[in-house]
Amino acid sequence: MDPCCEEAHRGMMRAFYQAGRRDALVRQYSLCTDLLHREEGRAPDVRTAQLYRELMAILRQPFDGAQDRAQDTAWIGNQS
């Protein structure tokens, strides 16, 4: 796998979100941004940054147990 493949990083971010792993989601985005900066001298694509912001905003909302995380992410960031 190409360590700078943002599509793969976005997939991992979605998986961590679905698992309720906010800590891992943050680490994955940080890893992505660090790799892109070091290897390619650039920031993440707007789609990657937007997905991160959307997932983090959802995770900050109170979770009542009635939501299904898998359904929530079916549309989030799938413009990749």
- Token pair in block for residue 32: 């992505």
- In the prediction, which pLDDT does 33 show? 97
Task: Measure the CA–CA gap between 6 and 48, rounded to whole angstroms.
Answer: 7
pLDDT at residue 11, as a whole number: 97
Check: CB of residue 13 under 8 Å from CB of residue 56.
Answer: no
Instruction: Identify the pLDDT of residue 14.
Output: 97
Instruction: Provide the residue ranges of all domains of the chain, joining segments of one domain with +.
Output: 6-72
pLDDT in tens, 66-80: 455 555 555 566 655
Averaged over successive runs of 10 residues, the pLDDT of the chain (80 residues) comes to: 93 96 96 97 97 93 58 56
Question: Contact at 8 Å (CB) between 32 and 44?
Answer: yes
